[in-house]
Homo-oligomer: A and B are copies of this chain.
Amino acid sequence: MIIRKGHTAVDRGTEEDEHKYGSRESLLLSEEGGLTQFVAHVETLQPGSRSDRHWHEEEDELLYVLSGEVTVVEEDGPHTLHPGDAACWPAGVANAHQVVNRSGAPCSYLIFGSGAVPDVIHYPEREEVLRAFEDGSWRIERTDGTVVKEGREP
């Protein structure tokens, strides 16, 4: 099944996300192609935008830079990546990572994940943990165990 450039469903996140993290656009390639065994998106960050710093207990992730200059912040600090550079985050390694566009132009990268569920996702700066369960439900807790929010995937 062929998916032409510009013919993919786009996710721009919520207004709340945009306010917090800046403008981000995700092309939902894997969903468009009817794939269920992994998640593959093309993300574009406008200057100043960023993702939420996190790491997964159960999901392998890979980022591959397509265009522009991408700053990847890991536990050991920031790294400036260019097209053809990549970053890999094996499941269970507590290397919290964040993608930031510190440049003056948009940057794009492919992001892949196994989509492993159940999963526990750690957000050290927010001092929160997201628990995702097999039945599609999820729960955000503070690191002291207090429940912040609960829900279920549609």
Residues of A within 8 A of B (CB): 1-6, 8, 29-30, 32-38, 40, 42, 59-60, 62, 64, 66, 72, 74, 79, 81-91, 95, 110, 112, 114, 116
A85 vs B36: C-alpha distance when bound (angstroms): 20
Q: Are A90 and B33 in contact (CB under 8 A)?
A: yes
Most buried by B among A6, A38, A59: A38
What are 27 contact pairs spanning A and B, CB under 8 A? Answer: A1-B74, A1-B95, A2-B79, A2-B85, A3-B85, A3-B86, A5-B83, A8-B86, A29-B64, A29-B86, A29-B88, A30-B60, A33-B62, A33-B86, A33-B88, A33-B90, A34-B88, A34-B90, A35-B62, A35-B90, A37-B114, A37-B116, A40-B62, A40-B112, A64-B110, A66-B66, A112-B112
Point out the residues of chain B lying under 8 angstroms from A95, CB to CB. 1
Contact of A87 among B1, B90, B114, B116 (CB under 8 A): B1
Point out the residues of chain B lying under 8 angstroms from A112, CB to CB. 38, 40, 112
Copies in the complex: 2
Most buried by B among A34, A40, A59: A40
A5 vs B40: C-alpha distance when bound (angstroms): 20
